[in-house]
Structure 1
Amino acid sequence: MSAELSERVAELERRVAALEHRDEPEPPPEDDGGLITYAGRLTRPGELQWQVALPSSRVLALADQPRIEVLSALAHPARSAIVRHLAEHGSQPGAALQEAAELGSAGQFYHHLKALTGAGIVEQDKRGSYRLNPRAAIPALVLLAAAADIAGQLR
């Protein structure tokens, strides 16, 4: 097997393991400027594990627009309520999420849902219900925890 093919197979195996949330944490990358790490584990509604370690220089060099879209999607009480409800209860129909977010109309609900799906935080499952995107679940909850920390709620 060629070196290029071996490398491609190894990358695919890493991706599959990450999607299955069974991957072992990689050692943190080296960087003289610092290291940003976060990790999490959810046991319900399903088993999810996540760990990220990145050089701070890489985090600071990323384009702002994609992360601003994610932060904006979470920056509303109704959207935060939807994310928290899905994290606690798993896949839910739209009506349950509308009620959990205390939204009076379906139009309001779908406006907020569009922001969450557009940012890749929430997705529709095969049954027509909504769930947290498994790749986004722990990072989104980390963002909510970090915001609570900045706001002084964790002290």
Structure 2
Amino acid sequence: MDDDARYLHLEARLAEVEARLAKLEEFPRPSDEADGSLEAEAFWALRGLRERLAEQPAMAPAGGVLFTGVVTLPDGEYCEWQQGAFTHALLRHDWAEFSNAFSALAHPVRLRLLQEVVRGERTVAQLQEHEDMGTSGQIYHHLRQLTASGWLQSSGRGQYTVPEVRVVPLLIALSAMTVPGSPGTGEE
């Protein structure tokens, strides 16, 4: 690579880093006193959803759901995601269509694999270093199931990532399981 090409490459990478930093600076960081929740601004998303439903009176009686998130993963990958749905549409949908995605999450090793990939361990070699993951054949079996259900995607040469559109929904599903008093949280 000649000096001009190297300079252009570095300039492009610097612009990308500056853009990511600008996005991060748009959002307040939690204080050291925070307990991990957003209770200081309780129900701001709920207020916004109510306002949105009020703008569509035909949909308002049944209501709707909204989930959103802004995430910077340990490897620096930045994800923003928001999704909402009207209740009547969700109730009409055939929930059985989601069984593969849910069942893929219903195994401790698959959840652990997802956790390690989100944390930045993206290669099969890195994942195999964890003794509790099983044999390489078992790991590939679980990776295939997670890939087939859309929780992972193969980025080539034995590397896996959680697709950006799945990062926030995955963290929301985990967050829903940590509601105090819920089975499995230890807070009953």
Correspondence for 2:118 among 87, 93, 98: 87
**1:2-39 deviation line (CA, Å, top 9, x unaligned):** xxxxxxxxxxxxxxxxxxxx9xxxx7464221111111
Secondary structure of the 2:133 match is coil
SS at match of 1:148: coil
Distance in 2 (CA, whole Å) between partners of 1:78 and 1:41 is 26
CA contact (8 A) 1:124 1:130 kept: yes
Q: 1:101 to 1:131 in 2, by over 3 A?
A: farther
Correspondence list, 1:1-155, <5 A: 28=52, 30=56, 31=59, 32-44=61-73, 45=75, 46-89=77-120, 92-100=122-130, 102-149=132-179, 150-151=182-183, 153=185
Segments ≥4 residues shifted beyond 4 Å: none
Q: C-alpha distance in 1, partners of 2:96/2:156?
A: 30
TM normalised by structure 2 equals 0.60
Contact 1:82 1:101 in 2 (8 A): no
Structure having the higher Rg: 2
The structure with higher relative contact order (CA 8 Å, sep 6+) is 1
Give the letter for the 1:54 counterpart.
A
The answer on whether the counterparts of 1:148 and 1:154 sit within 8 Å (CA) in structure 2 is no
Please report the TM-score for the alignment, with normalisation by the length of structure 1: 0.72
Offset at residue 114 of structure 1 (A): 1.2
**Once the two structures are aligned, what percentage of the paired residues are identical?**
27
What is the distance in 1 between the residues matched to 2:151 and 2:96? 16
Aligned CA RMSD, in angstroms, stands at: 2.5
Runs (5+) with no aligned partner, structure 1: 1-21
Tell me, in whole angstroms, the C-alpha distance in 1 between the residues paired with 2:129 and 2:95: 33
* C-alpha separation in 2, matches of 1:122 and 1:116: 5
Q: 1:81-137 deviations in whole A, cap 9, x for unaligned?
A: 111112222x61012223347222111111111110011110111453111011111
Equivalent-residue separation in structure 2 for 1:98 and 1:62 (angstroms): 39
Taking the aligned partners of 1:53 and 1:104, their CA distance within structure 2 comes to 38
1:75, CA displacement in angstroms?
Answer: 0.8
Change (3 A) 1:98 1:62: farther
Match of 1:9 in 2: none
Say if 1:56 and 1:152 are closer, same or farther in 2 by CA, change over 3 A.
farther
**Aligned residue pairs, count:** 130
